[in-house]
Amino acid sequence: MILEMLMRQEAFSASIYDDCGDSSIGFGRNLTQIGISRSEALVLLQNDINRVQKELEQFSWFEGLNEHRAAAITSMLYNLGLPRFKLFKLCIAGLESGDFDSAASEIYPNSKYAQQVPSRAREIASIIRRGTDADSPESS
């Protein structure tokens, strides 16, 4: 009964809204005072990963990437969003042709992305280039 009552009384908002000076979302979740738990954040993260991987399905080359390269590109798209990711035309062309060195070079070191998030860009580029975790021995 309480679930239905609160859903009716609070109404749903997918966007953050001002709630008497606090920021709230959903069915009146006070983000300012309560925030979210780690388990709630993990649910959101998994939903976002699923969304990003669905967005990556439009790229025929994505399916052919190994697990490490796919994770690196998923991380990059997660961080950038699809419109900004699509601006990496030469990187995308390198991924499509299997030229992982050129694809990685478009990510790090000379991109605006690398200037904004250097550690992340370096790690992603390394994984794209090597096909393994950044700290793993070289692979193809």
pLDDT tens digits, one per residue of 28-69: 999 999 999 999 999 999 999 999 999 999 999 999 999 999
Say if residues 109 and 120 touch (Cβ distance below 8 Å). no
The sheet that has 29-30: what strands, in order across it? 13-19, 22-26, 29-30
Rg of the chain, C-alpha, whole Å: 20
Say if residues 81 and 74 touch (Cβ distance below 8 Å). no
Structural domains in the chain, sorted by start: 1-35 (no CATH), 38-130 (1.10.530.40)
User: Using omega within 30 degrees of 0 as the cis cutoff, is the peptide bond preceding 109 cis?
Assistant: yes
Model pTM score: 0.87
